[in-house]
């Protein structure tokens, strides 16, 4: 009998997130959405006069915060309800309305930064002294003064705000295609039974010991993307075009520079990441050679890269057990951290299992003033235990930051976002390796750790290089086609995996199924964040004096400091190549450890 996907209405309440903690009902959401409309209408009263006095400026800035907080609550609730079942027409409409309100919010606020930029810095210093409560906005103002050349006139800012909905078209269309419309069909599982292939089951099938199942899942999935490759290439091209458009309008030298500027990250950090990985390709090639040897295959294919190499280890882990494992693995972070983790587990922060129409993947999200939320599509394997630890790392980062920072600085930049999540993973894998019951399980876990390196540091850097290449092409006036995208991606895949892996023709299409490419220059931060996390976790495990408190200080920092300076609290300097190089050395060490374990 084919395994069916559960419908949303049949999911147990305890396995769903408590959306009522934001709004107890959709009716209350509607009321707040109406209130948001009124606030949007009301706010332009400050246009042209917000800087006329210190007191009036404070009032305007506080109203801006209130408007943003309201918009955030409305938007987050609507989209998370939509993500529960992307085929639900009610929440499709609610999500679309929330997006429209968010755009209108941006339009209503579009005059603020141009007016603030026009305020002389000396006058701002005077206003701060006159009204003490303005002190909280000092970093916000200093950031504006620093970004002055990229903020346009109020008329142009209003135009860009109104264009935002159109600019999000490629991402929204891809999301609808990838989450709601595309159906991959059926494959035969290990028992020979017809089973529906879904996003959530794809990785599970790639971990199957049955090579026929792995190959069938791989070929079946990419057959569907192949059928739509020209449409998806058009979406990708338009998406890159919108990024280039915004960068040029804001007077940046490139879309890469524009994307990194928000966190004040020099483009050299991006380039150095790619260079450091290029200089450390050999450990990856060695690992692929070891994988081919341990799997006992003449040729190692792309569908062979996820299956565990240690046959005898059964890592079937139900969700309740996963929570206990995560708590134990993160115990080195102290009782304060664990108490917050338990709160999330016990009070329905998490939407646990896949259901029909549910958004694929996993994320942590939320709105200021309520606890964070985590979306999972949990299946009973080790990878999903790490996903739980990863996303709860994000969630507790938000929890600490929201508790410590006023609203303007509670949100943290993407560059540091992946540090907290990946630090959790690093601590957890160390715990599991230390507590392995035998040599086979230890080898299995080291294999897993190496695969995390491969997927996060090497693969995400490959993604980053792909993005840099295609954005540069568009900036140079070239178009993107399915043929050119496939050629670029296939060449990079060969370079990063080496001669010990057969780059199957289907892998050329992998670009077409990566949602993160619709958020330009995001993925490199997985690799830099992973490197920083390895450095911090090593300090914690080594018992460095005061490091846990420093780490919690980092978690509480929000955006109150530049990202580079936040990480320096923990003694990690990402303005150098050292953290990336050290992480790659750790990868090489663990490749040797696995070789020794399997030979002895």
Q: Give me the active site residues, please.
A: 391
Contact between 427 and 541 (Cβ < 8 Å): yes
Contact between 252 and 150 (Cβ < 8 Å): yes
- Give the pairing type, strands 186-188 and 194-196: antiparallel
C-alpha distances (whole Å) from 198 to each of 3, 201, 223, 362, 513 are 11, 5, 14, 15, 13
Write the DSSP assignment of 568-580 as a string of letters.
HTTT--TTSSHHH
Q: Which of 255, 280, 250 is nearest to 267 (CA)?
A: 255
Contact between 109 and 67 (Cβ < 8 Å): yes
C-alpha distances (whole Å) from 11 to each of 16, 253, 312, 388 are 7, 49, 33, 19
Alpha helix positions (H), 168-208: 169-176, 199-206
Measured distance CA(581)–CA(585) in Å, rounded: 6
Measured distance CA(260)–CA(468) in Å, rounded: 12
Provide the token pair at 152.
């346009």
Q: Is 95 exposed, middle or buried (0-12, 13-18, 19+ CB in 10 A)?
A: buried
**Alpha-carbon radius of gyration of the chain:** 24
């Amino acid at each position: 009998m084919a395994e069916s996907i559960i419908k949303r209405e049949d999911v147990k309440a305890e396995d769903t997130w408590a959306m009522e903690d934001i709004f107890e009902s959709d009716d209350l959401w509607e009321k707040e959405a109406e209130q948001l409309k009124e606030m949007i209408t009301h706010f332009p009263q400050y246009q042209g006069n917000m800087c006329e006095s210190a007191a009036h400026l404070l009032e305007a800035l506080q109203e801006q915060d209130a408007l943003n907080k309201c918009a955030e609550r409305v938007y987050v609730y609507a989209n998370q309800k939509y993500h529960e079942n992307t085929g639900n027409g009610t929440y499709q409409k609610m999500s679309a309305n929330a997006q429209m309100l968010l755009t209108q919010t941006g339009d209503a606020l579009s005059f603020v930064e141009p007016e603030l930029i026009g305020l002389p810095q000396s006058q701002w210093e005077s206003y701060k002294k006159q009204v003490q409560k303005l002190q909280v906005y000092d970093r916000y103002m200093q950031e504006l003064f620093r970004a002055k050349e990229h903020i346009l006139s109020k008329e142009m800012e209003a135009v860009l705000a109104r264009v935002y909905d159109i600019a999000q078209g490629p991402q929204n269309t891809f999301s609808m295609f990838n989450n709601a419309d595309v159906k991959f069909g059926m494959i035969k599982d290990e028992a020979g039974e017809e089973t529906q292939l879904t996003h959530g089951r794809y990785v599970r099938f790639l971990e199957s010991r049955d090579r026929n199942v792995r190959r069938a899942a791989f070929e079946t999935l990419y057959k569907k993307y192949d059928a739509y490759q020209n449409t998806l290439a058009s979406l990708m091209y338009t998406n890159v075009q919108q990024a280039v458009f915004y960068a040029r309008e804001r007077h940046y030298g490139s879309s890469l520079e524009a994307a990194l500027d928000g966190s004040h990250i020099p483009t050299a950090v991006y380039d150095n990441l790619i260079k450091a990985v290029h200089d450390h390709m050999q450990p990856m090639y060695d690992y692929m050679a070891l994988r081919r040897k341990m799997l006992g295959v003449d040729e190692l294919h792309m569908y062979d890269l996820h299956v565990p190499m240690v046959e005898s280890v059964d890592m079937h882990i139900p969700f309740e057990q996963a929570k206990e494992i995560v708590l134990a693995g993160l115990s080195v972070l102290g009782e304060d951290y664990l108490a917050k983790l338990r709160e999330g587990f016990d009070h329905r922060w998490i939407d646990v299992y896949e259901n029909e129409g549910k958004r694929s993947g996993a994320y942590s999200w939320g709105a200021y003033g309520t606890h964070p939320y985590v979306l999972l599509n949990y299946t009973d394997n080790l990878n999903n235990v790490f996903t739980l630890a990863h996303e709860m790392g994000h969630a507790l980062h938000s929890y600490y930051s929201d508790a410590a920072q006023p609203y303007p600085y509670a949100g943290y930049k993407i560059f540091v976002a992946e540090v907290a999540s990946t630090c959790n993973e690093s601590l957890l894998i160390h715990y599991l390796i230390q507590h392995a019951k035998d040599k086979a399980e230890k080898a299995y876990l080291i294999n897993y750790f190496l695969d995390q390196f491969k997927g996060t540091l090497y693969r995400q850097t490959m993604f980053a290089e792909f993005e840099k290449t295609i954005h540069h092409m568009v900036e140079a006036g070239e178009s993107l086609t399915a043929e050119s995208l496939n050629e670029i991606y296939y060449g990079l895949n060969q370079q990063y995996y080496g001669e010990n892996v057969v780059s199957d023709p289907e892998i050329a299409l992998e670009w077409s199924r990566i949602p993160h490419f619709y958020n330009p220059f995001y993925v490199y931060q997985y690799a830099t964040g992973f490197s920083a996390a390895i450095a911090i976790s090593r300090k914690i495990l080594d018992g460095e004096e005061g490091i846990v408190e420093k780490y919690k200080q980092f978690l509480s920092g929000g955006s109150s400091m530049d990202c580079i300076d936040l990480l320096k609290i923990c003694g990690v300097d990402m303005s150098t190549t050292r953290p990336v190089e050290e992480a790659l050395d750790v990868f090489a060490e663990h490749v040797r450890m696995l070789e020794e374990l399997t030979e002895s």
